Chain A
């Protein structure tokens, strides 16, 4: 049984907009970071699905997924670093209250 492409894309879209909504709505920096991960993985899912469907020779599209993993890892490392140093400065992780650097 072959799952149709539309189903993959639907799941991907749901994941993406869940993440997007989380980024917009939540105030907790860690949660926001997690939601960004969700969005990235939604994109990954879409990439893999398209790669399977149309990449008849060697599924080159999947390579991008590896790139996204790397970028996501780097992003998490930097993001958590920022959050930690901000937390050390002031014990708050609510992004709206971190505004010392506002011009």
Chain B
């Protein structure tokens, strides 16, 4: 099965080509079916590959062909199938498949149906390349590919200005991150003479390069990860990316693409582990992002933006886990998060679909009677996000916080707990405003309807995953099957797994649960019993509230500091181009044209003038001849 691993990305690629080339004219709505079947086949193959890895094939390299060969440096297009990549393959293909099914319903009435599925298939292809690559360069190909598809799909409704701007913003910020990635892989090549993961890690042990170089590599790679995974300081494209269709938000901006930064760091863990302070940087940035985004999520009214900030915050948790040396917990949270956050987005999409495009939670309310399936599935996902046992998020988040505590990062642990309270509060708030209380907009409420079966079935499947995934692979805590499966990752990095005592585990879990319950209780009290009343609290908080609503003015800051500077520079370059470069060419042309105008007057069209010129020329020649012949003009 593993030898067939290249079929996994081949199916989405074929779906992309078929729907892109034939979708518009011939296939129409069949493109959705074709793409869904293709991704479904990929998912089946991934399950097969996963089972084989589970069966003991812990490291296989499947070469497709040699890509670059210069001297003793060579890069192959080959897949590295180990526990880490097989988990990613499984998550990516399964979640993609469910979202593809859902999209068939969600995008049904959209004019660009075939275009949507073509790009979504291309995205899955690029993501799979990223995940399977056995070297940094091929990974970069996938890395850029997902960035491109993200751009295309955020700007899917490019007739409107907002998606178009959001797409541009996402692309530019990703490019800034990619700059870091490029620096990282170039330095890796210079230091190790290879870009292959296994070679690099082997040579790392043999040669032990300077700390400063390693730190540069890791910080540069992590900078790339912050761009792709929406961490500080490059997070602000992700909330704006919600202008894309909701399935895109669920697939790209919640479940898969944004986790590729986590995957990159987890993959490079042996480098980060020996590179001095770089893991601390990862952990601190992750923790700050987690709490920062969670506070913004508290006050947003657009249901998708709440989820977007929540995604940023949860990705922060994953980096926090990586930073405290717990890649297993990070990958575990990545997998569970892919399920419950995709579900939250798809549920939001179902609500938006049912309300005919309304995203403002202030106009919702009481929808649980109209949309029971959406309500129950989102309740499960919300519980998972708030880390209530026994739902999936509890197990993975608990492992992250536990690892932070056990490995001695008490401050990061405290930030994590506070973020957990905030998370529980904002998810309670979002679900309450959407599904409970009295309908606030009766017109919308009366026309609300449950989504069709093709959309609710993926919700149910994801809800099942969100409910049981954690306990299946994560129980007992710190020793669940996820640990034994991903053990090679930890070993490769040379990390020691601290397995705390049972009492510590229980105590930590109780604290986590308490944090979740406090957040939920506060939310329920605020919205059911109006104690404290949300409006009064808003007034009391005053400036703090304004700062939060304005998202800490980060966008304005970036606009002032960077965008305007870039614009000014672009304007100067434009002026230089127009006036100097173009000016030079135009002046030259003008001079020649004027010269031509002048010379044109010689051609009078009067025969006599021509004859005179001939005679004058003849005389001149005769005089010159005479002058030379007689020696007057010299030699």
Q: Point out residues on A near B: beta carbons under 8 Å.
A: 20, 23-25, 27, 95-96, 99, 102
Instruction: Decide if A95 touches B615 in the complex (CB within 8 Å).
Output: no
Instruction: Decide if B611 touches A96 in the complex (CB within 8 Å).
Output: no
Task: Tell whether B70 is near chain A: CB-to-CB under 8 Å.
Answer: no
| Nearest-neighbor residue (CB-CB) of A25 within chain B | B608
Task: Tell whether B605 is near chain A: CB-to-CB under 8 Å.
Answer: yes
| A65–chain B nearest beta-carbon distance, Å | 21
| B605–chain A nearest beta-carbon distance, Å | 4
| B607–chain A nearest beta-carbon distance, Å | 5
Instruction: Decide if A23 touches B611 in the complex (CB within 8 Å).
Output: yes
Instruction: Decide if A20 touches B605 in the complex (CB within 8 Å).
Output: no
Task: Tell whether B585 is near chain A: CB-to-CB under 8 Å.
Answer: no
Interface string of B603-616 (1 = CB under 8 A from A): 00111100110010
| B535–chain A nearest beta-carbon distance, Å | 86
Q: Which of B608, B612, B615 contacts A96 (CB 8 A)?
A: B608
| Nearest-neighbor residue (CB-CB) of A21 within chain B | B615
| Nearest-neighbor residue (CB-CB) of B618 within chain A | A20
Q: How many residues of B are in contact with the other chain, CB < 8 A?
A: 7
| A93–chain B nearest beta-carbon distance, Å | 13
Instruction: Decide if B605 touches A24 in the complex (CB within 8 Å).
Output: no
Q: List 18 A-B contacts (CB under 8 A).
A: A20-B615, A23-B608, A23-B611, A24-B608, A24-B611, A24-B612, A24-B615, A25-B608, A27-B608, A95-B606, A95-B607, A95-B608, A96-B606, A96-B607, A96-B608, A99-B605, A99-B606, A102-B605
Residues of B within 8 A of A25 (CB): 608
| A103–chain B nearest beta-carbon distance, Å | 8
Interface string of B588-614 (1 = CB under 8 A from A): 000000000000000001111001100
A67 to B605, CA, bound (A): 31
A20 to B616, CA, bound (A): 11
Beyond the given pairs A24-B611, A24-B615, A96-B607, 15 more chain A to chain B contacts, judged by CB atoms under 8 angstroms and listed by A's residue number, are: A20-B615, A23-B608, A23-B611, A24-B608, A24-B612, A25-B608, A27-B608, A95-B606, A95-B607, A95-B608, A96-B606, A96-B608, A99-B605, A99-B606, A102-B605
Which 3 residue pairs of A and B lie closest in terms of their CB atoms, listed nearest first?
Answer: A102-B605, A95-B607, A99-B605
| B615–chain A nearest beta-carbon distance, Å | 6
| B628–chain A nearest beta-carbon distance, Å | 21
